[in-house]
A and B are shown apart, each in its own frame.
Chain A
Amino acid sequence: MTEFDAATAAVQAALDAGARYADARVMHRRYESMSARNGDIEELTQDESIGLGVRALVGSSWGFHAVPELSEAAAREAGRRAAATATASARVPGPAVDLVPVEATVASWASGCEVDPLGVPLSDKGDLLVRATETMRAHGADLAEGLYQIWDTAKWFVSSEGHRIDQRIRECGGGISATSIGDGETQRRSWPSYRGQYGTTGWELVDSLDLAGHAARIAEESRELLTAPECPAGETDLILGGEQLALQIHESVGHAIELDRILGWEAAFAGTSWLDLTRLGSLRYGSDLMNITIDPTIPGALGSFGFDDEGSPAVRRDAVRAGRWVGVLAGRDSAAVAGLGYGGSVRADGWARLPMVRMTNVGLEPGPHTLDEIIDATDDGVLMDVNRSWSIDDKRLNFQFGCEIGWEVKKGRRGRMLRNPTYTGIGPVFWRSMDMLSSEIVPWGTPNCGKGQPGQVGHTGHPAAPARFRDVRVGVRA
């Protein structure tokens, strides 16, 4: 029995049990990670998982069931149980459910990959981490850590509307971090970000990061931070590096434009959104420099795919155009509720999880400046980079971020290093204050986006570049 056969059997069983729509995903995922600490390998893990998840719509109610077997009997039982669960959902029914139309597609898609990351010898990958962590130790880090992760996922999708899509998505990435421990505090520096940079690419991404080449510098910076002056408290002009701005986009734009949050479907856990659908197309989200796209078609970015987990093809859309909110991340059912014509942003993090609205690649289009030009143009401000902590309220408005490192900017020059830099603000006020944006875009990958109950971990991409924000409150501390 092929994977498509198993998915088809599950869908048919759900229909036989009363579903008016059903879809099924078979997923086979191989995962490998290795971590090193202070010159030793700390953990090497290789996991492999295969199974089937089927979703059934009975009346206006959904049910989902997942099993780790692909026999016809197991697939049919999963379909039947998904329909039974949907029937139980009808004890607390909601409004009628529609699905925005998606052309029934038969297709295959694969992400780009020059060097198969699972094919690179473990000894080579281990040597890279050992060497980098040894270098960080030798340059003063009390704690030197390195990590890589690889996911190789094959999926087969079948729907009762006639979809039959297979995809293979290979993702990998890694990073290093150095921690120095002083009296009563610790300071950390990472490259290229904490727990690394990731993409839908092969091992060539990790090679391009040159982890070993940055090890000495970040170790020395982590030690230097222990005696650096504290980031001053007050309001000032804030320049963010691209890595930090990527997380700012993720938290204060990406999650805010998720249609399930806007509709209240995540109210009890992840939260809602400050955005009101009646203002879609008219709301001023940010300054004219703010152009944010939802684009799962970017080659190599972590949120890229050929089709989402409802069979919708990858399509680039605007989320914010010239500062105005114009688009959302949606699925077929949430789009229908909102009266919109598109889904395309629904994914599940494995065969055992329900597909739900997730970010794809949500990021900025390039601006007209460079980081050097932004610093040149800043008379008095703070430059911060590489995220250390993040916190935002359940409406995605009030945020506070901490970065690993900061620098004074005075009269157009980068000055003293600053420790414990933090900044806080309100999303739309902050974005409206963006007056300079660099063209130096990097598609940052975030492999740890948590959402849903049971919890799911999403992989998202965020094209971002350095930018300047005016009159931001910085230096918040206990």
Chain B
Amino acid sequence: MSAERDLAGRVVELVRRIAGPQAQAEVVVTRSDLALARFANSFIHQNVAESGTTVRLRLHTDGRTAAGSGSLVDTDGLTALVERTRTAARLAPPDPAWPGLTPPAPVPADGIFDEATAYASPDERAARVRAFVDAAGGLEAAGYCRTAYRSGAFANSAGQSAVGRTAEAAMDGIARTGGSDGVARLCADRLADIDGAALGARAAAKARAAADPVELPPGRYEVVLEPAAVADLLQNLAWYGFNGKRYAERQSFAEPGAAQFDPAVTLVDDPLHASGLPYDLEGTPRRALPLVEAGTTRGVAQDRRSGAEAGTGSTGHGMLGGSTFGPIPRNLRLLPADGGTGVAAGAVTGGVSGAVADPDTAALVAGMTRGLLVTDFWYTRVLDPKRLVITGLTRNGVWLVEDGVPTRAVRDFRFTESYPRALGPGGVLGLGRTPVRQPDRVDGAWWEAPPLRLASWNFTGGASG
């Protein structure tokens, strides 16, 4: 971290020298070591690693703002970055909404960090793939095992500085048989907590139970959504609802203070619940942000720009691309029923008996007279941002549940549903006790939830039309 801290300080000093003391500079230095072993048809077909340091500079001078980044960290590279960003700022149109720099504020010290995960070898990732493939018991297996290490520093010309480091591991895989897939995925702070064999066995059991699916007519069904499917709900709520920019533009459904959700729903963005950098791209300390408490919407995420516009200030959600996409909470937790069981988030419970692969899901399924058990959602896209109407498909296993028992596998459905409506008052019939942390497509973001039983989900078509 000290190397990154030195680099950030050097860039702030370079800005002072080249652009003058009146220039406001914000510097983020991130060193990354990212590695991912990918497998398909039960062998590793892609295995990659990258190392590098990125320096990101945002500069505001004479009422104008520009940002830039570079991967060259020698003196020439840093000087070139500062000079071209200063030139861009001079030529840019005025920026009357510039919110100013983050003032000095204490940033939490290093939280969860596992050295062994940060420096994991290709062999350690491959070993987990081997275990997953072996546990699939002859079924075709596909997926990935990845580790990510980031060490970073922030400095600005207003005197704010911060350092941090993070390590994360994730595995996501499917087992396949006769056109039916089963999935298991997990994100953890330690690679040691990723059990390839347990995940492979779960995926295989689900795949076998998904064989010979029947097609059911579209319509509204009661559902139990497994954590992988719930993660999609959280992701879309975060991107399009709890996003301060979209809220300010009146494109979000969110109405702080209103009981928009079922009382069983409590959502919090909690970046320090797992390994993560303790500051955002603008140097604001990251902290837990309640979004929904017992069904009542409490707030939305803000970066400095959207927070200034809203008059609330930043909530620590400055992110790359934030000016365009808005500040997005990316560490969302749907809190489990009764505060959960105390089981470490992400632990995949045992029981690989088939469609219902853990006791938590079993408890929810047992209460359903007639409905569907849905493992995963796929390719979800927004039809109407204001009501957050989403279309997408089921994937990796759907089952008809009758009198509390999965009776047959069902072919995939297309659905068209308003997510806030589905989670609205009276919509949640049950919530599991054991949250499972699901990896995002990029490290640093994750979605943690227990399984969820909903009164109604609108399936608008079968996979065959």
Contact = CB atoms under 8 A, between A and B. Distances in A.
Contacts of B382: 389
B44 A66 contact: no
Contact of B43 (A45, A94, A122, A420): A94
Interface in B35-57: 36-54
Nearest to B251: A186
A15 B279 CA distance: 43
Most A Cβ at <10 Å: residue of B42, B69, B93, B324: B93
B370 interface: no
A419 to B, nearest CB: 10
Contacts of B36: 453-454
A85 B395 CA distance: 32
Interface string B230-261: 00000000000000000001110000000000
B91 A68 contact: no
A123 interface: yes
Interface string A123-162: 1001100100000000000110001000000000000000
Contacts of A62: 45-47
A186 B385 CA distance: 7
A99 interface: no
Interface in A148-191: 179, 181, 184-186
Contacts of B67: 43-46
B389 interface: yes
Contacts of B65: 41, 44
Contacts of B96: 40
Interface stretch (B99-107, B122-130, B292-300, B423-431): B122-130
A390 B251 contact: no
A41 B461 contact: no
A426 B465 contact: yes
A94 B251 contact: no
Contacts of B378: 271, 393-394
A143 B249 CA distance: 7
B60 to A, nearest CB: 11
Contacts of B70: 47-49
A328 interface: no
B408 to A, nearest CB: 20
A50 B72 contact: yes
B22 interface: no
Contacts of B85: 46
B51 A267 contact: no
Interface string A262-301: 0111111101000000000000000000000000000000
A94 B46 contact: no
Nearest to A271: B378
B416 interface: yes
Q: Chain B: interface residue count, which band?
A: 35 or more
Contacts of B92: 34, 41, 44, 122-123, 126
A40 B40 contact: no
B391 A264 contact: no
Contact of A92 (B84, B95, B130, B417): B130
B316 to A, nearest CB: 19
B389 A478 contact: yes
Contacts of B417: 478
A185 B384 contact: yes
Interface stretch (A104-112, A208-216, A395-403): A395-403
Contact of A66 (B40, B51, B250): B51
Contacts of A119: none
A51 B71 CA distance: 8
B47 A44 contact: no
Contacts of A424: 414, 460-461, 465
B381 A389 contact: yes
Nearest to B422: A478
Contacts of A264: 40-41, 140, 142
B172 interface: yes
A185 B383 CA distance: 10
A100 interface: no
Contacts of B441: 453, 455
Interface of A: 34-35, 40-51, 53, 61-68, 81, 84-89, 91-95, 121-123, 126-127, 130, 142-143, 147, 179, 181, 184-186, 263-269, 271, 352-354, 356, 388-394, 397-398, 400, 402, 420, 422, 424-426, 429, 453-455, 473, 476-478
8 contacts: A41-B92, A46-B85, A53-B50, A66-B49, A93-B43, A123-B91, A184-B387, A476-B460
Interface of B: 34, 36-54, 65-72, 80-81, 84-85, 88-89, 91-97, 121-123, 125-127, 129-130, 133, 140, 142-144, 146, 172-174, 176, 181, 183, 249-251, 323-324, 378-387, 389, 391-393, 395, 412, 414, 416-418, 421, 441-442, 458, 460-461, 463-465
Given A92-B133, A389-B381, A454-B48, 9 more contacts: A41-B93, A63-B122, A66-B52, A92-B43, A92-B126, A94-B42, A267-B174, A268-B142, A391-B393
